[in-house]
Amino acid sequence: MMNRLTGFLMCAVPALLMLACGLMVPAHLRAVDTCILKEAGRNTTGLIKQGLSFVGQGNLGAAKLLLQAAQAQGLPDPQGLGLAINNLALQHPRWMVWGGGDARLDRLFASDPYLPKSGSEPFTEFVVREDNRTVVLGLMGASPLPVVLDLLRCRALTNTVIFSPSQSASGQVLDTALAGCGLLLERGCLSGGLSNAVFAMARTGNRTGDPERLEQVLMDLMSLGQRFNWGELVAFVGPIQDPETLRLLADLVRKSEGQLPVIFAAVQLSGKPAQVAAYLMNFSRTGVKDLGASLRYGAGGVDELLRRNLGLHGSRFGRETAGLSISGAVRALAAELCWRMPWLGLTIKWLLYLAAGFLLAAALHFARPAATTLEQPLQVRGFHIAREMLFALGFLLVVLLLSEPFLAQESQKVAFPFRLRLPAVGSVVPAGTTSVNRIIMNQLSPLSLLTLLLFFVLQGLLYAACLVKLAEIRRQKLPSRIKLKLLENEDHLFDAGLYLGFAGTIISLILVSLGVIQPSLMAAYSSTSFGIIFVSVFKIFHLRPLRRTLLLEAEAAPAEPLAAAVAPRFVSPT
């Protein structure tokens, strides 16, 4: 009795420790843990430091947006970014209105009598006023840059697609867009890649009379100018290298009016506007929130989130155990490992789960009562190890389903924003074609794929368990006719795949009717299909040949009484 108790404790205690260690490893399939961002952001530029850099450049607009992003994330201001902004604003009050960042433009903005005395004025609101637009167009005409002159010549175009021609009654909109883009180019505020793209589009538009691509860029810049002042606009569009990234970011900014500081700060800290746009397109619902949380860990944290392109997850178990000395040290070591070698960290985590499941099964083996004398011939040495391995695989599957974040989450990816088109007569959708028949048979969402995989793995584990039981009966030291009886006794185990398949289909259909999961008949009926396939393969190719062999052996062997085979032997006392 003491030996079994000792074995139980020696297996159960390490199993629980391994399970706890596995839960502390911050490696996930479809998520990145916050402690990894913290490790990646160590000793990198933070929001406050980047904001002080903008203050040093005189860009009050950009510094103020970074301060708003830091305050929204609850970050402290130990270096006094807010104080530095207030001191610079006292020295140059007008910079708080138009943003600052270019002392050469101070006279241009100061000459506007309609410039507000406080607050922040969007750049498009400034340049749309006729006097300011005229001054900017004059600066463009005097510019020595070929790209600015080619852009100015686009005022003569008459076959525009998005804007009205400049000579028309409503041509001031095109002039406003050209003036805003021209001022950015004349002051060297656009990157080399974007400047070259604008130059090529302007030259192509003037030569072929097709300015549609250029108009899209002008529309995006004007849309951003409606939400940023000059200083903020210069800092935001400066890292953008191509028109497609500009288009995506402009669309995201339009849809995230209340999250401008977060998007602005992510672009500034990472310096990778294309990756920021791609991340927000892939995670349309939680992307802005996750980017905002990554800002707490500096430029390195934002870069790590963008590089992995996964949702952000904070482990509650890890936070609760981080304060403990031993578990905190283990978690810090695991975080560094998962940051530098994520797949190795994930492999170690799964091996810990697998070992924990194996030891738990071994503990249950020791907790079972010892076999009676009648059951001694049924015991086959070593087969409990195979059952413990199967239990470990099932335990790994259950723990992954319960602990992995976003494993069954639907895709958040959205389609790219559309380009503006004027509808032609031939492209009008006829009436009566707006209704679309809903087909639920081919909707393979991530949750449906996960359901298919889950049913397949469960049926595979049941199939393996049946093979182990079959091999165990084959190796028992019993007459063939007794083995036949034992096979009949295991009929319910051998049919468990069918029972599981029917139960999975019924549960799936109930969840669909309740609206818990999306409709997918393929995922629902796959449970029964896998059950039929696995049970049929087992009974035809494994159970049937063994029964035939045992029947032949039973007919050929002389009859043996059951009592003689399994009856205990008594020794008379001396």
User: How many residues are recorded in the chain?
Assistant: 574
C-alpha separations of 507 from 351, 435, 455, 464, 516 in Å: 31, 31, 12, 24, 11
Question: Where does the pLDDT of residue 421 fall: very low under 50, low under 70, confident under 90, or very high at 90 and above?
Answer: very low
CA distance 490 to 321: 45
Chain-centre distance of CA 135, in angstroms?
A: 48
Overall average pLDDT of the 465-473 stretch: 93
Owner of token pair 């509808």:
423
pLDDT tens for residues 267-308?
999 999 999 999 999 999 999 999 999 999 999 999 999 999
**Lowest mean pLDDT, pick from 86-90, 103-107, 230-234, 469-473:** 103-107
Question: Where does the pLDDT of residue 78 fall: very low under 50, low under 70, confident under 90, or very high at 90 and above?
Answer: confident
The helix (H) or strand (E) run that includes residue 331 is helix 325-340
CA distance 35 to 119: 38
pLDDT tens for residues 533-557?
999 999 999 999 999 999 999 988 7
Pair of tokens at residue 388:
């413990």
Which residues contact residue 138 at a Cβ distance below 8 angstroms, ignoring those fewer than 6 apart?
Answer: none
Would the pLDDT of 102 be above 70?
yes
CA distance 361 to 465: 14
Considering only CA atoms, give the Rg of the chain.
35
pTM for this predicted structure: 0.83
| Contacts made by residues 279-282, CB under 8 angstroms, sequence distance 24+ | 279/305, 279/306, 279/309, 280/252, 281/248, 281/252, 281/413, 281/414, 281/416, 282/309, 282/412, 282/413
CB 101 within 8 A of CB 231: yes
Pair of tokens at residue 70:
């830091």
Which backbone phi and psi does 412 adopt, to 5 degrees? -100, 5
pLDDT tens for residues 104-150?
888 889 888 888 888 899 999 999 999 999 999 999 999 999 999 99
